[in-house]
A and B are shown apart, each in its own frame.
Chain A
Amino acid sequence: MEQVKSFYETPSPAGLTGIKAWLLTHDHKRLALMYLWAVFFWLVLAVFLGMALRLELMFIGETIMPPEIYNSFFTLHGVIMIFLFVIPAIPAIFGNFFLPIQIGADDVFFPRLNLFSWYLYMFGGLLAVISLFTGDGFADTGWTFYVPFSVTTETNVSLTVTAAFILGMSSMLTGLNFVTTVHRMRVKGMGWLQIPLFTWSIYATAWVQILATPVVSITLVLVVLERFLNIGLFDPAKGGDPLLYQHLFWMYSHPAVYIMILPGMGIISEIIPVFSRKAIFGYKGIVVSSMAIAIAGSLVWAHHMYTSGMSDVSVFVFSLLTYLVAIPTAVKVFSWVSTMYKGSILMTPPLFMSLIFIYLFTVGGLTGLVLGAAGTDIHVHDTTFVVAHFHFTMFGGTGFAFFAGLHYWWPKMFGIMYDFKKAYIAAVLATVGFIFHYIPMFILGMQGMPRRYYDYLPHFETGNFLAGFGGILMVIGIMLMFINLWASFRVREPASADPWGGTTLEWSVPSPPPLHNFVEEPKILEYPYDFSGVLARAAKNKG
């Protein structure tokens, strides 16, 4: 391939130099990388906060921090992980970088709005940091900000909530941008059923971001109003109903878990066919299930509230609806596994991590059914069982999908390849640590250990110790993974335009891509996962 200048060498708008070329850029690829570094920062910080929590819980009594700090730490861990890592990570980084390329566009539809979203994201993060050091300390409510405690606590809830509000706006505007881009900027000749699955999943996610986020925004505004004006909308003494806060909160926050997982599923749907050298099984099934998850996921919010005292009819209805969401999710898992069946599998770090994703996510999904059924949920509600369940989906799912995506697209984003061996070791360490970390929490939860508690009875000690031990292993694994990726900048082993043999458009452009993404007019495959060309090329190289 002839030498073309990559987007690193051609700032947009033209003429900007140095740091300005980044801070004022309209280029979706530069913005994606700016998100990447910010997200990395928050992820590492929140991982260490989580680590500190587990260390505290390893032994009975005070180990490394007093209870007030513990409360603030688990709130901070949740707020950062949810609002600053899991929600923005995949859409804002990979979505920004690859969505336009996958549909043959040269940028997103509103490039300046994209930059604005990044500033909102940074501003929201900054506010979260400020709220740490001002007022009477960081919020100690948990990331859910449940009333009445969030209205009465002395800590700095208002500022934290404002930060969440601004981050929500950033996420909503990103979604707006993506939907418009997919509708208006697809290259001529790309029909709806020729869009790669990652883009489809980001598209489905974007609609949830647009329609669900405002509900939590207004809810958080109401919390602030309650704190300053004592209106009483959630205060039973003044006629309010605190359960309505939970309804409003979960109207967003349950769909939000699909904002978190859908893009991850999209990444897996890209990786599995590429390394199986086989067309994805059930392309349409995956597309439909993405949209179905987005829709059905918006109907089930009250399954977080079975024990809150809402009506029994409601428990029944929402439990039933919850089971519906399991269907499209299972369709996806089935499709991934069927794609690999009789494929010619090429093991690489991204595929390895995708397999880990499928395993961990399946455990997370199936334990979700235990929680979705009202009868069993009442037994394990608000125990560490719940914590283990959503970490299996959010971290074992989205987290590992993020790692897999990072290893899959790293050569494309930076034009360099990392060391495979260390990547495998890191992934194994992280996974073994992960299982040691969260499986004991399932058992502890069944035995009745409540979540968010600072201390516990002696018979819970073995489990908590094991969880802490697994946590240390997991953190070492993750750090090794990042160090390995970082080391690729020193070795600088160049990567070709298509190191994996992918068929989607991002592999038809140089690594890293030029400013306007395409050197020549993109060629659309009749079917986005047609590997006959890749296989023919491989055969020619051999013979």
Chain B
Amino acid sequence: MEKAIDKTGVKIGMWIFLYSEVLLFGGLFVLYAVYFHAFPEDFALGGKELNRIFGTANTLVLLISSFTVAASITAIQQRRKGLAIGLLVFSLLCGLAFLINKYFEWGAKFHHDLYPNSDLLLDSDPGFNIFFGLYYTITGLHGLHVIIGMVLLAISLVLVARNKISAERYAMLENSGLYWHLVDLIWIFVFPLFYLVL
């Protein structure tokens, strides 16, 4: 390699990718906005079915993991490999906790006959069905992104352990971190829109 890696360029590339992710969810937020405008009462009713405690817990889990990922970058910059690994493992555990939490939450909904195309939803008001349609689509897609983010973090973790990521070269970790923060960002909006609507 005759030329140095252009870190800023790599970061610009990653950010552009994140923009595309934002707009991917953006399409769903368009749907949310329009349907919320059409069925405010049904959305409030639907929001009451969701458990605020579960939602808040998941919000906290993601926020904390975002913090630990950001801290792991600081640790790498300060050449504290052990600390970085620890923080990344903790972040991965947070991601796992989020998914388990989500699993139980979805499970409870299924138990109450609230799933796409269920008899209960088909018989209830159209807005109620739309609320849950959006709920499953958006949280499902978000869950998928949590899984992708965890894979990226896990790869970074392995690279840190093998000294492929170091204080001189940590673009991979930084970009995985950015992706993870994006997952957090989207949840920051999903949480009030579904759990806290009145």
Contacts and interface: CB of A to CB of B under 8 A. Distances in A.
Interface of A: 109-110, 113, 172, 176-177, 179-180, 183-185, 210-215, 217-219, 221-222, 225, 229-233, 238-241, 244, 247-248, 251
Contact of B117 (A211, A231, A241, A247): A231
Contacts of A241: 34-35, 38
Contacts of B27: 214-215, 217-219, 248, 251
Contacts of A238: 122, 126, 129-130, 133
A233 B31 contact: yes
A241 B127 CA distance: 11
Nearest to A109: B9
Contact of B20 (A210, A233, A239): A210
Contact of B23 (A211, A233, A247): A211
Nearest to B126: A239
B137 interface: yes
B116 A229 contact: yes
Given A210-B19, A211-B19, 16 more contacts: A110-B13, A176-B17, A179-B12, A180-B12, A183-B12, A184-B6, A213-B20, A214-B26, A218-B28, A230-B117, A232-B116, A233-B31, A239-B128, A244-B30, A244-B31, A248-B27
B106 interface: no
A177 B10 CA distance: 10
A229 B126 CA distance: 16
A263 to B, nearest CB: 19
Nearest to B39: A239
A172 B117 CA distance: 33
B75 to A, nearest CB: 28
Which 4 residue pairs are nearest across A and B when measured between Cβ atoms? Answer: A239-B126, A184-B9, A218-B27, A214-B24
A229 B12 CA distance: 37
A169 to B, nearest CB: 9
A213 B26 CA distance: 12
A211 B24 CA distance: 9
Contact of A172 (B20, B128, B130): B20
Using C-beta atoms within 8 Å of the partner chain, give the interface range for chain B.
Answer: 35 or more
Interface in B128-145: 128-130, 133-134, 136-137, 141
Q: Is the interface of A mostly helix, strand, loop or mixed?
A: helix
A440 to B, nearest CB: 39
A251 B19 CA distance: 16
A172 B22 CA distance: 13
A208 to B, nearest CB: 12
B21 to A, nearest CB: 7
A214 B21 contact: yes
Interface of B: 6, 8-9, 12-13, 16-17, 19-28, 30-31, 34-35, 38-39, 116-117, 122, 125-130, 133-134, 136-137, 141
A240 B34 CA distance: 10
Nearest to A245: B31
A176 B38 CA distance: 36
Contacts of B23: 211-212, 214-215
Contacts of A214: 20-24, 26-27
B27 to A, nearest CB: 4
A229 B13 contact: no
B134 A109 contact: no
Contacts of A113: 13
A241 B122 CA distance: 16
22 contacts: A176-B13, A176-B16, A180-B13, A183-B9, A184-B8, A211-B20, A214-B21, A217-B27, A225-B137, A229-B116, A230-B116, A231-B133, A231-B136, A231-B137, A232-B129, A239-B125, A239-B126, A239-B127, A240-B126, A241-B38, A244-B34, A248-B31
Nearest to B131: A239
A153 B33 CA distance: 29
Nearest to B30: A248
B9 A247 contact: no
Nearest to B25: A218
